[in-house]
Amino acid sequence: MKIGVLALQGAVREHIHQIQSLGCEANEVKSLNDLSGLNGLVLPGGESTTMRRLLERHQLLNPIRSLAQLGIPMFGTCAGLILLAKEIVGDDEAHLKLMDVVIERNSFGRQADSFEVEIAVDQIGDDISAVFIRAPHIVSVGPNVEILAEFDGRIVLAKEGQYLGCSFHPELTEDTRLMHYFIEMVRDFNKSPLAKSNSI
């Protein structure tokens, strides 16, 4: 299986490393050509406003939406979750507008700009390592969204069909259980009748 990692900015290498360590091929995505043949796409953390600008400059915004329409699973971490969200508190216009969640940016305060904790994740484990760096949180979710984890009374991990999104950076730890969970989503999609070759 071939998983792409959007590689315009942010924590790319660590995702690639985790994907490869779980036995899949990992490809950096910088242009339209890099999207062909992907079975899944990871949108990494970084700075969402910069990433949005680069998505436009590299003409990737609509092609990624088309990939989503084919049912290809997508995993957004931190800024990647912000890119996936249908709505961002205080912003007139969201980015990819794919996942039915409302996001608030920089939710965990200046004092604790960055920290690592263990959180309980439904179906996966009660000691998942999570690094939060100027992290967003999910304020509210649509009817088809499953909430998989909360931290400090806030939603930090959720799944809606083909989309998985978390507030934190799972790739900055040695803990690959969340990436493994995403790869299983990709595997399930590949087995489904919906899966067709993507040719955008």
Q: Catalytic residue numbers?
A: 78, 169, 171
Q: Are 182 and 161 in contact (CB under 8 A)?
A: no
Residues in region 104-143 near ligand GLN by CB under 6 A: 105-106, 133-134, 136
Residue with tokens 């999910």: 138
Q: Are 55 and 188 in contact (CB under 8 A)?
A: no
DSSP letter assigned to residue 170: G
Residues in region 90-109 near ligand GLN by CB under 6 A: 105-106
87 is an interface residue for ligand GLN by CB under 6 A? no
15 is an interface residue for ligand GLN by CB under 6 A? no
48 is an interface residue for ligand GLN by CB under 6 A? yes
Copy the structure tokens of residue 5.
């990692």
45 is an interface residue for ligand GLN by CB under 6 A? yes
Minimum distance from CB of 60 to ligand GLN (Å)?
17
46 is an interface residue for ligand GLN by CB under 6 A? yes
Within 10 A of 114 (CB to CB), how many other CB atoms are there? Answer: 12
DSSP letter assigned to residue 12: -
Q: State which of residues 35, 79, 119, 155 lies at the interface with ligand GLN (CB under 6 A).
A: 79
Minimum distance from CB of 70 to ligand GLN (Å)?
26
53 is an interface residue for ligand GLN by CB under 6 A? no
Q: Are 130 and 81 in contact (CB under 8 A)?
A: no
Residue with tokens 């899944």: 40
Minimum distance from CB of 98 to ligand GLN (Å)?
16
* Cα 88–Cα 47–Cα 52 angle in degrees, nearest 5: 65
Would you tell me which residues interact with ligand GLN (CB under 6 A)?
Answer: 45-48, 78-79, 82, 105-106, 133-134, 136
